[in-house]
Amino acid sequence: MTATRTNSPAWLLLQDGTCFAGTSFGAKGTAGGEICFNTGMTGYQEVFTDPSYTGQVLIMNNAYTGNYGVKNDDVESDSVKISGLICKNMAHRYSRMVADDGLESYLTRNNIVAIYDVDTRALVQHIRSKGAMNCVISTEHSEIEALKAALANVPDMAGLELSSQISTKEPYHVGKADAPIRIAVMDYGAKINILKCLADRGAYLKVFPAKTGIEELKAFEPHGYFISNGPGDPASMSYAVDTVKDILATEKPLFGICLGHQLLALANGIPTFKMHHGHRGLNHPVKNLVTGRSEITTQNHGFGVDPEAIKKCDHVEITHVNLNDGSIEGIRLKGKPAFSVQYHPEATPGPHDSRYLFDDFLKMIEESM
Ligand SMILES: NC(=O)CC[C@H](N)C(=O)O
């Protein structure tokens, strides 16, 4: 399949004044967000639709993006969630028997501004040394003052609350209603495959809007609670921290992923912090300190849990660490059936090494029933 090459110019301006020129791909217009990069070599459609990327302009480290097109069901949510896209090369032809569309048409339909022909190696090295910052990409402004004005409107990721905007508006169910195990899911921007991983193991889920109170959660009579991934700064989510505290008070099993991990830490008095440039990719090595085994993990986070504060917290145990930088990848509470990981065991896209965590959670629930 081919698409017409437009070759129209596009520009990228970073918050520190650095500028890149490139070529437009996808929707026309101007888009801003926090710039971040994903080192994965495949799985771009799942990444673009991951709700945790809300508010972020994504650089793909892979030299070539779009070669296998898109498929209607290779998604992690109902729409593309990235604010914008930056690539080295974008495929104008795609090749996959079962593909439904090409990437450019998909981005255009989803109103996503993208820029390619950018030296992404230089750009990623820049972010790696300077750290996370905001940016704008534009097909309509080439004047630096106009780009700067657009950039001034992009909110800081630190302190930004996004989950309540993208969470489901109404509760919904996943799985079979007669399943023996019921799990209440807090939707702060949940990826579809996390829900599938739980339902495939025989759980019936009720997925709740971000600001649902404990009484409504309890009315579902859940045997366990799941705290989802999601975008934004966990420290801005006091409503969610309160919900996690209320859930812990029920003594029912709790499992949290990524944002859910950060919220479990915050609910136990452990602060989170903004990382230099975060972890986003499919090959982050993590060691499970309980089993001594290592796993290769999928990651997507720009905030982390404070390691020093955990060490001082008697009732929280570190279960997983990142083998690249020693950052905290997993915790569990002593004396309570609650645990969480900073990475993504559902791993769409990515290796399935960590799927055992869903089995562990279901087993924990069975043992508590
Ligand atoms: N994938 C996630 O849940 C991300 C959590 C949080 N928004 C972060 O960037 O750290």
Q: Verify that 171 and 222 share a domain, yes or no.
A: yes
Ligand 1 within 6 A of CB of 260: no
How far apart are the C-alpha atoms of 262 and 248, rounded to whole Å? 15
pLDDT for the residue 6: 58
Tell me whether residue 65 is in a domain.
yes
Number of Cβ within 10 Å of residue 158's Cβ equals: 15
Q: Verify that 126 and 203 share a domain, yes or no.
A: no
Contacts of the segment 279-282: beta carbons below 8 A, 24+ positions apart: 279/322, 279/327, 279/343, 280/36, 280/37, 280/38, 280/39, 280/40, 281/38, 281/39, 281/40, 281/61, 282/39, 282/40, 282/41, 282/42, 282/43, 282/347, 282/349, 282/350, 282/351
pLDDT over 90 (residue 199): yes
- The question of whether 344 is a catalytic residue gets the answer yes
Question: Which of 37, 54, 82, 229 to probe ligand 1 with, by most ligand atoms within 8 A of CB?
Answer: 229
pLDDT over 80 (residue 58): yes
The pTM of this model reads 0.97
pLDDT for the residue 2: 43
Mean of the per-residue pLDDT values of the chain: 97
Question: Which of 38, 228, 259, 276 to probe ligand 1 with, by most ligand atoms within 8 A of CB?
Answer: 259
- The question of whether 216 is a catalytic residue gets the answer no
Q: How far is CA 14 from CA 77, 154, 156, 232, in A?
A: 28, 11, 13, 20
pLDDT over 60 (residue 189): yes
Determine which one of 36, 135, 258, 313 is catalytic: 258
pLDDT for the residue 1: 43
Domain tally, the chain: 2
pLDDT over 60 (residue 159): yes
Q: Verify that 117 and 172 share a domain, yes or no.
A: no
Q: How far is CA 149 from CA 24, 52, 138, 154, 278, in A?
A: 20, 26, 12, 10, 27
Ligand 1 within 6 A of CB of 232: yes
Tell me whether residue 4 is in a domain.
no
Cβ neighbours of residue 135 under 8 Å, at least 6 residues apart? 12, 13, 14, 15, 32, 33, 34, 35, 57, 151, 154
Q: How many CA atoms lie within 13 A of 115 on its CB side?
A: 30
Ligand 1 within 6 A of CB of 190: no
Tell me whether residue 158 is in a domain.
no
**What 3-state DSSP class applies to 107?**
helix
Average pLDDT score over residue span 78-100: 96
pLDDT tens profile 105-150: 999 999 999 999 999 999 999 999 999 999 999 999 999 999 999 9
Specify the CATH number for the domain of residue 275.
3.40.50.880
Average pLDDT score over residue span 308-319: 96
Q: ω before 349 within 30° of 0 (cis)? A: yes
pLDDT tens profile 201-227: 999 999 999 999 999 999 999 999 999
Domain end marker among 120, 152, 184:
152
Ligand 1 within 6 A of CB of 67: no
Q: Verify that 131 and 171 share a domain, yes or no.
A: no
Domain end marker among 152, 186, 218:
152
pLDDT over 50 (residue 316): yes
Q: Which domain holds residue 14?
A: 9-152
Specify the CATH number for the domain of residue 38.
3.50.30.20
How far apart are the C-alpha atoms of 132 and 36, rounded to whole Å? 7
Average pLDDT score over residue span 24-36: 97
With bands split at pLDDT 50, 70 and 90, how would you rate the model's confidence at 341? very high
pLDDT for the residue 3: 46
Ligand-binding annotation for 302, yes or no, is: yes
